[in-house]
Amino acid sequence: MRKNKVDIITLGCSKNLVDSERLMRQFIANGYTVEHDPHTINGEIVVVNTCGFIGDAQEESINMILELGERKRKGRIGKLFVMGCLSERFLNDLTSELPEVDHFYGKFNWNELITDLGKSYYKELATERILTTPRHYAYVKIGEGCNRSCSYCSIPLITGPYQSRPMEELEHEVRHLVEQGVKEFQLIAQDLTYYGLDLYKRMALPELVERISDIPGVEWIRLHYGYPAHFPYELLRVMRECDNVCKYMDIALQHISDPMLRLMRRHITKAETYELIARMREEVPGIHLRTTLMVGHPGETEQDFEELLRFVEEIRFERMGAFAYSHEEGTYAYLHYKDEILPEVKQERLDRLMRVQEGISADLNASKIGQTLRVIVDREEEDFYVGRTEFDSPEVDPEMLITKESRLEIGRFYDVEVTDAQAFELYGKRV
């Protein structure tokens, strides 16, 4: 166990990662040495930032806590703290069932961890963080919470209502990150498109994106987690006119059949969904759409699923993920529907859906062979440099493997010709 060392382990999404990075900044301001997701966990203090969205994520968080509890019992680590979505959602249960944890903090009161240790929480550093990503890109959380009422989703139970961050605060954060060398910004929230309704009484995401795009040094802006109903179409103009706003939109559609959209409480119809996609592709030529779909929601018939398959085959999403429904305690679906679809049926539908998408991804990637694309280099491996195009977000989208014919710098942009492609990878050489 290393004295004065803090190990922070982040589970779940990039929104959790931002919280961990802010916590790291506070620890360092108080004189600690901090490591994030370290190879060797041996800190005097260990903090686990948990995910509580669905069953698999909850299980991963619990297993990590139990493993660290055993290390604590053997004297390999010191104090063990838990924060984040899991403890926000199940605080009372966790406190009674996991006595090896010194203290639990929720999603929003993690700053108390600092003061409970007898240290100072520096409010003037509230928007500063220690980046755990490569220094050329960062996640920027523009809001927290969700006002939607989707049947299956536990996020509103965890985060509460939507809270937008002021534009001036976000601009200040982006300027500070640019000074640190950040060039690429992933704008994130549980729901980007709701931004501003609580604070400005209007959908202000287009204005925010435009203001950030005007900041010198901002090379790429990418948008994650939009909501399809009442989409702010002015955003498409911004995306089309601002060269540094990536032609990329991450928008979770979940399903396409009208019966399922009603059961899921998505507040959009099949016809409106088709209209939204058509308008996006018409107004922003070349846009790459990422979506997430769900199978196995209560009430999903084989006919509903076949309709979803046909939808994916017809639309040919450039990027797509999918997951099986999880019956989450406290959600509308948990209270009003029975989880009657067998796990093996859910898995079979998920596998079929992803096989279809794999073929689509392979075709779309193959169509890029011979094109020259602007690529940012993320890292160097033994045989390749690894980078991404404007259509690819870190960790979830395809990467570009660039041959080592010339020396490339991490974090710089290069023109790369696509020479080969697979379903989830591109191969290229510097032009």
Q: Is 51 annotated as a binding residue?
A: yes
Mean pLDDT of 158-177: 96
**pLDDT (tens digit per residue) in 94-131:** 998 999 999 999 989 999 999 999 999 999 999 899 99
Q: Is 242 annotated as a binding residue?
A: no
Give the pLDDT confidence score for residue 55 in this predicted structure. 79
Tokens describing residue 252:
């979770």
The span from the CA of 137 to the CA of 183, in Å, is: 6
Q: Is 13 annotated as a binding residue?
A: yes
User: Percentage of residues in the chain with pLDDT exceeding 90?
Assistant: 92
Average pLDDT, the chain: 95
Q: Is 85 annotated as a binding residue?
A: yes
Residue among 62, 71, 15 at smallest CA distance from 38: 71
The span from the CA of 318 to the CA of 365, in Å, is: 9
Give the pLDDT confidence score for residue 321 in this predicted structure. 95
User: Percentage of residues in the chain with pLDDT exceeding 70?
Assistant: 100
Residue 13, pLDDT above cutoff 90: no
Q: Is 146 annotated as a binding residue?
A: yes
Residue 351, pLDDT above cutoff 90: yes
Residue among 222, 217, 205, 210 at smallest CA distance from 319: 222
CA distance to 161, 166, 191, 209, per residue, from 198 (Å): 9, 11, 13, 17
Q: Is 246 annotated as a binding residue?
A: no
